Amino acid sequence: MNPMNRPNSDVHPFQAHADDADLDDLRARLAAARLPEAETVHGAPPGPRRWAQGVPLADLIDLVDYWRTQYDWRAFEKRLHHAGQFRTTIDGLGIHFLHRRSPRADATPLLLTHGWPGSIAEFIDVMDELADPKDTDAPAFHLVVPSLPGFGYSDKPSTTGWGTEKIAAAWVELMARLGYDRFTAHGGDWGGNITTVLAGKHPEHVIGVHTLFAQAPPGVTTNGLTETERTWAEETRHFWHHRAAYAKQQATRPQTIGYALVDSPVGLLAWILDKFAEWSDTEDSPFETISRDRILDDVTLYWLTRTGASAARIYYESHNSLDPELRVDVPAAVTMYPRDIEKTPRPWAEKRYRHIVRWNTPDTGGHFPSLEAPAHFVKDLQEGLTAVLTTHRRPRPATGTPGSTRTR
């Protein structure tokens, strides 16, 4: 699958470079920030209770000071340049993406799709090992990492319609322009949703998928679930009923919250940091597993590209929009991290994903595994896609129940 199989002059190299004036403006805004009083739970001991009203003031002050005086955006720009940046226009919208070719002749194309409040920054730390693994027995991949419409250096849609199904179709076109008519795909959060749509709607192009998202179709019951699976179902229900105000806001009034996210770097930081804290596998702070620089890479990308509002609109376009009849028949590897916000019991997942070839439930990890535990994330992705590729190469049994060829 050489990218020259289908040369396309619409793909152009791109280099991210913020103006010095924009970086100076960011530091000035941080220095002039108006902050509220401390949360009324500030006396709580270290632990989740300290975050009961959102980001604690002391934590935010420390991070704002670090962002203003020590954080180095130019270092992140260099890492983007090393990964290889490009842009192309699909259906009238400019799409930014990273493209890292593997030196291995046996490499497989792999599309990595991020979610919110993530970005392409989620995958920077894992691209080299996925493309050119130190273990020669591990699979290698030609990596394509697009920025979702309205995110990062992709264009901001000026009309409605850029929901997950249109994005999935655009990803098929993007991969074809690079010469990858058949490819594997991975995603979590919105990236997992889009990966599911890709596999269900475009199976002729998708060899198989690895996903952290396995939303069940409607109509499932808890009958027959194990105690652990019932706990997962209850935790997910509790999340959507009690901890998803951000999603309702962005799904109904993204423009309103967008003014704050585009105008105030501190507001943007707090809005995003809250999710890194709540959704990671930590007890008191996201910085237990994710460095300040990695979170600020992500937040600064949103800030410099002024995409706080446009990124939020993916909720307006696609919230609760996954086709209830959609089924995935291509081989699928599913990983459910214990501290993720949605964990789907396997019997429910199998009603949509009909050929699960690997089901993994790690002991640790949250919503951002590529940032929280990059080495473990890489190994899990390699093993999951090895199961996908192995299954793809051998004939599928003609009899048996859906998903009967699988491993734990």
pLDDT attached to residue 396 = 52
Q: 222-239 burial, b if ≥16 CB within 10 A, otherwise e?
A: eeebeeebeebbeebeeb
**Taking 80 as the threshold, does the pLDDT of residue 405 lie above it?**
no
Distances in Å between the alpha carbon of 388 and those of 143, 279, 359, 402? Answer: 17, 28, 11, 15
Mean pLDDT (whole number) for 239-264: 97
pTM reported for the whole predicted model: 0.93
Q: For 361-379, how does the pLDDT look when each residue is reduced to its tens digit (9 = 90+)?
A: 999 999 999 999 999 999 9
pLDDT attached to residue 47 = 83
Of 49-53, 107-111, 149-153, 314-318, the least confident = 49-53
Phi-psi region of 150 (alpha: psi -120 to 50; beta: other; left: phi over 0): left
Mean pLDDT of the residues in the chain:
93
Length of the chain: 408
pLDDT attached to residue 8 = 60
Cis peptide before 117, with omega less than 30 degrees from 0? Answer: yes
Instruction: Report the Cα 6 to chain-centroid distance in Å.
Output: 28
Q: For 22-70, how does the pLDDT look when each residue is reduced to its tens digit (9 = 90+)?
A: 999 999 999 999 999 999 987 778 888 899 999 999 999 999 999 999 9
Q: For 174-221, how does the pLDDT look when each residue is reduced to its tens digit (9 = 90+)?
A: 999 999 999 999 999 999 999 999 999 999 999 999 999 999 999 999
Mean pLDDT (whole number) for 69-94: 98
Give the rounded percent of residues in the chain with a pLDDT score beyond 90: 91
pLDDT attached to residue 272 = 98
pLDDT attached to residue 395 = 57
pLDDT attached to residue 402 = 36
Mean pLDDT (whole number) for 6-19: 85
**Taking 70 as the threshold, does the pLDDT of residue 20 lie above it?**
yes
Six token digits for residue 343:
């964990």
